[in-house]
């Protein structure tokens, strides 16, 4: 750190992304990317003509894309805020609505804490219950910015929409942001509540269920006034943050919605198979509605399992937080990748002899 760095950032701990090692070829089950490519029509959308167009700035209003996304949900383009990955949307939400403080679960997406610190937002982490569920009662009438990932990460567990609606209703003077990064894999979306509540933001990403983590596209849905607030912050930061090619791919993605629904179904099938196989090997597996499983091995710690898997060419994610240190988070890959994963797990936990 240099002696010039603003004091308010000196103690801040940056988010640590999942590793992307290049030393060998891994089966990569550590960052919840899709094992499938974008739809063929999306791949074909990029032509050399489009690449030549890169000399021009992209449309800062993202008009075409917002119109397409809006029609997908039956909303107006003015209800859609498009960002460079949903992380950007979340950052702007903390920036815009965090002045009275923020609350979120103790075990959830690690970035919320970082955004709170970056934006000088005081925050409180509410412990999940012993079984890793969220207790809605803890979030009632808080009058602070509330962040809930649904399904939650890294547990994969969903909250029911009725409980979320109660939280939204009981915090009518503050914003409730529902992060639906994983909802397409089995959760219940709150998108339909956007027209009902002026304090709700639903945040979505192309990184998981739209097979486009490398394209960087996210969006938030909300009341027109909220979207205007967020647009103001975006226009004060980087109005051109969605590049032309990503915008083009993102529009083609909306048109190929069926393809992505099929990919999500395939992930859900493979998830069920993998969960069953792990359970038979004595693992404790949390019920997941996401594209990953959160699982605890019978006789080996999470950190040890992570290392043993890595040595055998499989990357999963392990978190140091003591409450979940026994667990690893396993992204659901292709059926073939997961068969290989289970074979290797058997070698490690000795389940081959069962
Ligand atoms: C992956 C993820 C995101 C954001 O990802 P982007 O790639 O920035 O869109 C947001 N929230 C949760 C819970 C995630 O797991």
Higher pLDDT, 351 or 35: 35
State the distance from the centre of ligand 1 to the C-alpha of 132, rounded, in angstroms: 20
Low-confidence winner among 12-26, 94-108, 165-179, 298-312 (lowest mean pLDDT): 12-26
User: Is the shortest distance between the CB of 218 and ligand 1 below 6 Å?
Assistant: yes
**CA pair distance 154, 32, nearest whole angstrom:** 10
Q: Which atom, in ligand 1's list, is nearest to the CA of 108?
A: 13
User: Is the shortest distance between the CB of 185 and ligand 1 below 6 Å?
Assistant: no
Residue to probe by mutation, ligand 1, list 205, 241, 329, most atoms within 8 Å of CB? 205
Annotate 240-294 with three-state secondary structure: CCCCHHHHHHHHHHHHCHHHHHHHHHHHHHHHHHHHHHHHHCCCEECCCCCCEEE
User: Is the shortest distance between the CB of 331 and ligand 1 below 6 Å?
Assistant: no
State the distance from the centre of ligand 1 to the C-alpha of 40, rounded, in angstroms: 24
Inter-axis angle of helices 302-311 and 335-349, nearest 10:
110
Owner of token pair 């207790």: 135
Q: Which atom, in ligand 1's list, is nearest to the CA of 109?
A: 13
**pLDDT value at residue 43:** 96
pLDDT tens digits, 191-213: 999 999 999 999 999 999 999 99
pLDDT reading at 13 higher than 70? yes
State the distance from the centre of ligand 1 to the C-alpha of 182, rounded, in angstroms: 9
State the distance from the centre of ligand 1 to the C-alpha of 204, rounded, in angstroms: 8
**pLDDT value at residue 24:** 84
State the distance from the centre of ligand 1 to the C-alpha of 136, rounded, in angstroms: 22
User: Is the shortest distance between the CB of 85 and ligand 1 below 6 Å?
Assistant: yes
Annotate 16-78 with three-state secondary structure: CCCCCCCCCCCEECCCCCCCCCCCHHHHHHCCHHHHHHHHCCCCCCCHHHHHHHHHHHCCCHH
Q: From atom 12 of ligand 1, which residue's Cα is the shortest distance away? A: 181
Low-confidence winner among 18-27, 162-171, 215-224 (lowest mean pLDDT): 18-27
pLDDT tens digits, 296-351: 999 999 999 999 999 999 999 999 999 999 999 999 999 999 999 999 999 999 85
User: Is the shortest distance between the CB of 223 and ligand 1 below 6 Å?
Assistant: no
């Amino acid at each position: 750190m240099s002696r010039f760095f603003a004091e308010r950032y000196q103690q801040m701990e940056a988010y640590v992304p999942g590793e992307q090692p290049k030393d060998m070829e891994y089966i990569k089950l550590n960052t919840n990317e899709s094992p499938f490519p974008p739809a063929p029509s999306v791949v074909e959308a990029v032509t050399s003509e489009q690449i030549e167009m890169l000399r021009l700035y992209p449309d800062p209003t993202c008009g075409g894309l917002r119109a397409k996304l809006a029609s997908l949900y039956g909303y107006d383009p003015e209800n859609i805020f498009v960002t460079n990955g949903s992380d950007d949307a979340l950052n702007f939400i903390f920036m815009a609505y965090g002045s009275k403080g923020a609350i979120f679960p103790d075990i959830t997406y690690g970035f919320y804490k970082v955004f709170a610190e970056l934006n000088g937002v005081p925050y409180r982490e509410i412990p999940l219950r012993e079984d890793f569920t969220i207790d809605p009662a803890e979030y009632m009438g808080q009058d602070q910015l509330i962040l809930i990932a649904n399904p939650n990460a890294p547990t994969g567990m969903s909250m029911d929409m009725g409980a979320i609606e109660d939280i939204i209703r009981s915090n009518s003077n503050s914003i409730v942001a529902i992060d639906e990064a994983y909802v397409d894999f089995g959760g219940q979306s709150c998108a339909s509540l956007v027209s009902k509540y002026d304090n709700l933001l639903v945040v979505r990403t192309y990184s998981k269920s739209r097979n486009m983590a490398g394209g960087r596209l996210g969006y938030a849905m909300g009341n027109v006034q909220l979207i205007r607030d967020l647009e103001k912050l975006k226009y004060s930061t980087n109005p051109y943050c969605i590049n032309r090619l990503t915008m083009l791919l993102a529009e083609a993605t909306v048109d190929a919605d069926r393809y992505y629904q099929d990919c999500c179904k395939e992930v859900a099938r493979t998830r069920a198979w993998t969960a069953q196989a792990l359970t038979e090997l004595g693992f404790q597996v949390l019920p997941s509605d996401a594209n990953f499983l959160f699982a605890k091995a019978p006789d080996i710690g999470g950190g040890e399992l992570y290392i043993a898997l890595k040595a055998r060419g499989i990357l999963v994610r392990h978190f140091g937080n003591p409450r979940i240190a026994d667990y690893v988070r396993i992204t659901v890959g292709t059926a073939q990748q997961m068969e290989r994963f289970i074979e290797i797990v058997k070698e490690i936990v000795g389940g081959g002899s069962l």
